[in-house]
C-alpha cells in the first residue's frame, strides 16, 4: 500500500524540489516544482529503496515521475496492490 | 543479432584497415588512438575553416584550451554522474627515489606499475565546451546579448573501438550559446538548419534525428529517455561503416539550465541562464568525406572541392 502522503513525505525531505512538497496537489508538475533530470534519477532510486521495488525499463521515463499521483500509481502497480488516495 | 554485429565489426575493421593502408591514419596498436596524415589533416583544417565561414556573422568569441580541464572544474561539472565510464584522468609519478626504483623494477619484470601513479589536477577534456562554462560564470551576470563562444579542442573518451569513427582522442569544434531560453533555442534552431545546409554542400547523404547521450547504467537509461522525450539532443547522421547505423557527425544540444545551475550563470534579470551548443566531430566528418568521395581528394567532386578549397 502506498499513499500520496508517503510520496509527499519523501519529496519534502529530499531537497530535490524548490517548493514545499506539502503544498503540492496530486497532479502538480514536479518538474515545474524544480525537479531536475538528475533529481528524478535520485527520486527513482529513493523510491526503489523505500518500497523495495525495482522500476522496469519501460517505467524509467520522465512521465513516470511527473506528479505525486503518477508516482503513486507506478509504485502501487509495482507493489501489486492498489493505491490509497 | 550476432550475425549483424559481426558484419558491423567487419565493416568497421575493413574501413579502418583501408584508411591505414592508404596512409590516412597511422596505427599505434591501441584501438581508437591514431596518427593522421597530411592529407587527413588538410581535410580537417579545410572543414574547420568552412565552419568558421558559416558561423562568422554571429561574432562568436574565440576561446582555445588545451585538451584538458582543471580537476576542480571537472569535479564540479557532474560529468562523473553521467559518464564515469568515459572520463580520463591524468595520473603521474609522485614518489621518491626509492619508489622510483620500485617503479623501474616492476616495469622491468612486467609487473603492474600503474597502481603507484597518483592523480594530478588535470583531467582530459570530454567535450570541447566544458572549460567555457566556468570561464563565462567567472565574468558575472551575462549582458543582454548573452554569450556566444567558439571552441575547438581535442577531446578524450575512454571507449576503445575497432570503428575508426569512434576514436578515443578526437577533435570537436563547437559554438556554445549562453543566455535566455529564447536566445538559446533560436541559436539551436538556426544551427539545425545551417548544419544541414553546410553538410549538404559537401555532397554526403545525411539525416537529422533525435538522439541521446551514452549515460551510464540504469540511472543513465532514465536520463537518456528524459533527453529523448524532451527533444534535447539532435544528431546529424552520415553512414560511414553502416547504412543501418549511421554515424553522428554533428550534434545540436539544448542543456536547458543544467550548466547554468551548476556554474551559477545568470541572465541580466537574475534568472538562471540556459545553454546550447552545436558540435562538429572533425574526424568523423573527414571520415565521412573519405568514405563517400574516395581517398584521393584531388578526385573529389568539383562542388565539394569548391566548398572546401574555395
Interface test with chain A among B78, B225, B232, B254, by most A beta carbons within 10 Å: B225
Has residue B98 been placed in a domain?
A: no
- pLDDT, average across residues B106-117: 94
Cα distances from B209 to residues B182, B238, B251, in angstroms, run 22, 11, 10
Q: pLDDT per residue over B62-92, tens digit each?
A: 999 999 999 999 999 999 999 999 999 999 9
Q: Which domains does chain A have, with CATH numbers?
A: 2-84 (1.10.1200.10)
**CA B9 – CA A85 distance, rounded (Å):** 53
How does residue A84 score in pLDDT terms, banded at 50, 70 and 90? low
CB B226 within 8 A of CB A62: yes
Q: Which of B80, B220, B222 would you mutate first to test chain A, the one with the most A CBs within 10 A? A: B222
Range of the domain at B211: 2-68+126-309
A68 close to A28: Cβ distance less than 8 angstroms: yes
B33 pLDDT above the threshold of 90: yes
pLDDT score, position B5: 63
Is the pLDDT assigned to residue B273 strictly greater than 50? yes
Within-domain flag for B305: yes
Please give the grid coordinates belonging to residue B45: 583544417
Average per-residue pLDDT for chain B: 96
Q: Is B25 helix (H, G, I), strand (E, B) or coil?
A: strand
Cell of B296: 584521393
**pLDDT higher than 90, residue B277:** yes
Is 60 exceeded by the pLDDT of residue B271? yes
Report the residue of chain A nearest B259, measured CA to CA. A36
> Can you state the percent helix, strand and coil of chain A, rounding each to 5?
55, 5, 40
Establish, for the pair of chains A and B, how many residue pairs have beta carbons separated by less than 8 Å: 31
CB B179 within 8 A of CB B265: no
Give this complex's ipTM.
0.79
User: Would you list the DSSP string of B162-231?
Assistant: S-TTS-SEEEEEEEEEEE-HHHHHHHHHHHHHHHHHHHHTTT---EEEE------HHHHHHHHHHHHHTT
Q: How far is A60 from chain B (nearest CA, A)?
A: 5
Interface residues of chain A, partner chain B, Cβ below 8 Å: 36-38, 40-41, 44-45, 57, 60-63
Please, what's the largest Cα pairwise distance for chain A? 32
Beta bridge mates, B174: B151, B279
Asked if pLDDT for residue B1 goes beyond 50, the answer is: no
* CA distance to B49, B242, B258, B274, B296, per residue, from B255 (Å): 26, 29, 6, 7, 39
Cell numbers standing for residue B44: 580537417
Q: What is the pLDDT of residues B174-197, one digit of tens each?
A: 999 999 999 999 999 999 999 999
- Distance of CA B32 to CAs B37, B114, B153, B169, B170, Å? 15, 21, 17, 7, 9
Condensed to tens digits (0 to 9), the pLDDT of residues A44-59 reads 999 999 999 999 989 9
The verdict on residue B79 lying in a domain is no
- Which of the four pLDDT bands, split at 50, 70 and 90, describes residue B4? low
CB of A47 closer than 8 Å to CB of A13:
no
CA B145, B146, B152, B157 dihedral sign is negative
User: Residue A16: its pLDDT value, please?
Assistant: 87
- Across the interface, whether the CB atoms of A36 and B230 are under 8 A apart is answered no
Q: How far apart are CA B24 and CA B201, in angstroms?
A: 23
- The residue to which cell 529523448 is assigned: B228
Is residue B309 pLDDT above 70, yes or no?
Answer: yes
Condensed to tens digits (0 to 9), the pLDDT of residues B113-142 reads 998 899 999 999 999 999 999 999 999 999
pLDDT at A22 over 70: yes
Which helix (H) or strand (E) is B278 found in, with range? strand B274-281
pLDDT band at A82; cut points 50, 70, 90 = low
Residue A83: the pLDDT is 57
Domain contains B94: no
B143 three-class SS: coil
| Three-state DSSP state, B145 | coil
Average pLDDT over residues B24-45: 98
Instruction: Give the nearest partner residue to A62 out of B78, B225, B261, using CB atoms.
Output: B225
CATH code of B234's domain: 3.30.930.10
Q: Distance between CA A48 and CA A35 in Å, rounded?
A: 18
pLDDT at position A1 is 77
Largest pairwise CA distance in chain B: 64
pLDDT at site A81:
61
Count: domains in chain B = 1
pLDDT at B63: 98
Residue B67 near residue B125, CB atoms below 8 Å: yes
Amino acid at each position: 500500500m502506498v499513499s500520496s502522503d508517503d510520496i509527499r513525505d519523501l519529496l519534502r525531505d529530499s531537497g530535490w524540489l524548490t517548493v514545499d512538497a506539502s503544498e503540492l496537489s496530486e497532479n502538480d508538475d514536479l518538474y515545474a516544482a524544480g525537479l531536475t533530470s538528475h533529481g528524478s534519477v535520485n527520486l527513482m532510486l529513493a523510491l526503489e529503496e523505500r518500497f523495495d521495488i525495482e522500476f522496469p525499463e519501460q517505467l524509467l521515463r520522465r512521465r513516470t515521475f511527473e506528479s505525486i499521483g503518477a508516482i503513486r500509481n507506478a509504485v502501487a502497480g509495482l507493489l501489486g496492490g492498489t493505491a490509497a488516495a | 543479432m550476432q550475425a549483424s554485429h559481426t558484419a558491423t565489426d567487419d565493416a568497421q575493421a575493413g574501413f579502418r584497415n583501408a584508411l591505414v593502408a592508404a596512409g590516412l591514419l597511422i596505427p599505434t596498436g591501441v584501438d581508437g588512438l591514431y596518427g593522421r596524415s597530411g592529407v587527413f589533416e588538410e581535410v580537417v583544417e579545410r572543414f574547420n575553416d568552412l565552419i568558421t565561414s558559416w558561423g562568422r556573422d554571429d561574432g562568436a568569441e574565440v576561446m582555445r584550451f588545451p585538451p584538458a580541464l582543471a580537476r576542480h572544474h571537472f569535479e564540479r561539472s557532474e560529468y562523473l554522474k553521467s559518464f564515469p565510464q568515459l572520463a580520463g584522468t591524468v595520473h603521474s609519478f609522485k614518489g621518491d627515489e626509492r619508489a622510483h626504483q620500485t617503479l623501474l623494477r616492476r616495469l622491468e619484470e612486467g609487473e603492474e606499475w600503474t597502481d603507484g601513479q597518483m592523480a594530478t589536477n588535470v583531467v582530459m577534456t570530454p567535450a570541447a565546451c566544458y572549460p567555457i562554462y566556468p570561464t563565462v560564470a567567472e565574468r558575472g551576470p551575462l549582458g543582454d546579448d548573452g554569450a556566444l563562444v567558439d571552441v575547438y579542442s581535442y577531446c578524450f573518451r575512454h571507449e576503445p573501438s575497432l570503428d575508426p569513427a569512434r576514436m578515443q582522442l578526437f577533435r570537436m569544434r563547437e559554438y556554445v550559446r549562453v543566455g535566455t531560453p529564447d536566445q538559446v533555442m533560436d541559436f539551436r534552431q538556426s544551427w539545425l538548419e545551417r548544419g544541414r545546409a553546410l553538410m549538404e554542400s559537401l555532397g554526403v547523404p545525411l539525416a537529422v534525428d533525435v538522439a541521446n547521450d551514452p549515460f551510464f547504467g540504469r540511472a543513465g537509461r532514465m536520463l537518456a529517455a528524459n533527453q529523448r522525450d524532451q527533444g534535447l539532443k539532435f544528431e546529424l547522421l552520415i553512414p560511414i561503416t553502416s547504412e543501418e547505423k549511421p554515424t553522428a557527425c554533428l550534434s545540436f544540444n539544448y542543456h536547458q539550465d543544467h550548466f547554468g545551475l551548476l556554474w551559477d550563470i545568470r541572465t541580466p534579470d537574475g534568472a538562471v541562464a540556459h545553454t546550447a551548443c552545436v558540435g562538429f566531430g572533425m574526424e568523423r566528418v573527414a571520415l565521412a568525406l573519405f568514405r563517400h568521395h574516395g581517398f584521393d581528394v584531388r578526385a573529389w567532386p568539383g562542388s565539394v572541392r569548391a566548398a572546401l578549397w574555395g
